[in-house]
């Protein structure tokens, strides 16, 4: 039975914070609010430090439902920079190839982007948290190594609001759990022959949960958590 320490918190994560940073903040205040130093806190779907937007944080017995939350479909606002390649497939990495002119027309770029809609096999980035032989891929990559990752089946339900401005391509996309938007950026760049990397990412929905109903990280404090614990039934 759900108690008043079993919470589902919607948080609007800012850029520069890791998902674990947000969990640590919630853990600090929920433990103070409940006087329970052992209460569990976890998140339901990592956002990279560069990314912003909806992060679901679970407390108490709700952490047992973490897997079901993580399997939900997600919606993102994304920006891809064309004409360059990053070793992490996003703006957090080192640019390893740049100033390559994308000679494709705007029509061709949009058509190529739309070709990703549907079900496909997607190769995760080397800089990912996927574990192989007990080691996270990004930990191996940071040491100059590579991990033998396997392609995974993903589904891109829709790509909308496509805008192209110079070498910047922005759009909104709804995808299945496990889909890497960084991989879309990388693969699009390869298809266009000019390279591409993810330069901005904002998660706006996780299934029915909307970032517009999320708390900014600046509002997560002891007073708020005490109020939630006192009013949750």
Catalytic residue among 6, 12, 21, 48: 48
Note if 89 is an active site residue.
Answer: no
Can you tell me the distance from the alpha carbon of 117 to that of 176, in angstroms, rounded to the nearest whole number?
11
SS3 track for the chain: CCCCCCCEEEEEECCCCCHHHHHHHHHHHHHHHHCCCCCCEEECCCCCCCCEEEEEEEEHHHHHHHHHHHCCCEEEEEEEEECCEECCCECCCCEEECCCCCCCCHHHHHHHHHCCCEEEEECCCCCCCCEECCEEHHHHHHCCCCCCCCCEEEEEEEEEEEEEECCEEEEEEEECCCCCHHHHHHHHHHHHCCCEEEEEEEEEEECCEEHHHCEEHHHCCHHHHHHHHHHCC
Can you tell me the distance from the alpha carbon of 129 to that of 127, in angstroms, rounded to the nearest whole number?
7
108's tokens: 């061709």
Can you tell me the distance from the alpha carbon of 27 to that of 39, in angstroms, rounded to the nearest whole number?
8
138's tokens: 């990004």
Instruction: Enumerate the active-site residues.
Output: 48
């Amino acid at each position: 039975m759900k108690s008043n320490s079993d919470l589902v918190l919607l948080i609007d994560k800012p850029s520069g914070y890791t998902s674990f940073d947000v969990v640590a903040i919630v853990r600090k205040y929920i433990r103070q609010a409940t006087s329970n130093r052992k209460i569990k806190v976890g998140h339901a779907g990592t956002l990279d430090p560069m990314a912003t937007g909806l992060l679901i944080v679970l407390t108490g017995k709700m952490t047992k439902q973490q897997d079901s939350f993580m399997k939900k479909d997600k919606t993102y606002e994304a920006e891809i920079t064309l004409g360059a390649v990053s070793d992490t497939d996003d703006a957090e990495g080192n640019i390893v190839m740049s100033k390559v002119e994308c000679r494709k027309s705007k029509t061709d770029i949009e058509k190529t982007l739309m070709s990703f809609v549907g079900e496909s096999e997607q190769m995760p980035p080397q800089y990912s948290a996927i574990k192989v032989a007990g080691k996270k891929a990004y930990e191996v990559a940071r040491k100059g190594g590579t991990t033998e990752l396997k392609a995974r089946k993903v589904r891109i339900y829709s790509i909308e609001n496509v805008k192209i401005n110079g070498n910047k391509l922005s759009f909104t996309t709804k995808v299945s759990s496990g889909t890497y938007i960084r991989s879309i950026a990388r693969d699009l760049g390869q298809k266009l022959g000019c390279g591409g990397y993810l330069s901005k990412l904002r998660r706006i929905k996780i299934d029915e949960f909307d970032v517009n109903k999320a708390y900014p990280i600046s509002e997560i404090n002891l007073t708020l958590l005490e109020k939630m614990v006192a009013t949750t039934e």
